[in-house]
Amino acid sequence: MQLSRRFVRATLALTSVALMAACTPREERYESVCQITRQDVVETDPQGKPELVDLELEWDPCPGDQFQVVRGGREFAQCIMKYHVGDYVPVHVLHEWDARGYYKWDLFQIGDCPRPIERTSEGSYEKSQECTERKAYGRPVGFSCSRKPFRQLVKVCPWMARD
């Protein structure tokens, strides 16, 4: 029995798509806790209610200096006002593969406030570094910092892995 060329091509195409889907890195979700270190209302409506808010969060369990700045729209801004600078809040993290060839992460919920992730909007970013003191002749002379996620950081906070 001879198979038609069209059937063979269709089978190969479907197999290729299935293999590519199997090789595509998956997204992962994590839970952690952060401390709110800054909260700025960027825009308000005519009644003075927040329309746009920026939060700076410090990743409490993660070693080094790990900060996340997030921007959120009206619903998020009005919800997050119940939290204050210094509060520790649970966070939900989406860790996913970026088409540019590395992993990235973003927060989709802070406290009990959902935060839709807008992939093309500006205003949200992370600051990550580990600093060590430098000494000369036993005396501190400064420090040096690395912005790459180091092994201990990724072990404790796996969503910060880039590859």
Flag whether pLDDT at 147 surpasses 60: no
SS (H, E, C) the chain: CCCCHHHHHHHHHHHHHHHHHHHCCCCEEEEEEEEEEEEEEEEECCCCCEEEEEEEEEECCCCCEEEEEEEECHHHHHHHCCCCCCCEEEEEEEEEEECCCEEEEEEEEECCEECCCCCCCCCCEEEEEEEEEEEECCEEEEEEEECCCCHHHHHHCHHHCCC
Flag whether pLDDT at 24 surpasses 80: no
Average pLDDT of the residues of the chain? 81
Flag whether pLDDT at 136 surpasses 80: yes
Mean pLDDT of 6-31: 57
Q: Does 65 or 18 have the greater pLDDT score?
A: 65
CA distance 1 to 23: 33
pLDDT at 101: 86
pTM, full prediction: 0.71
> pLDDT digit string (tens) for 80-123?
999 999 999 999 999 998 888 888 888 999 999 999 988 777 66
CA distance 160 to 156: 9
Cβ neighbours around 129 below 10 Å, total: 15
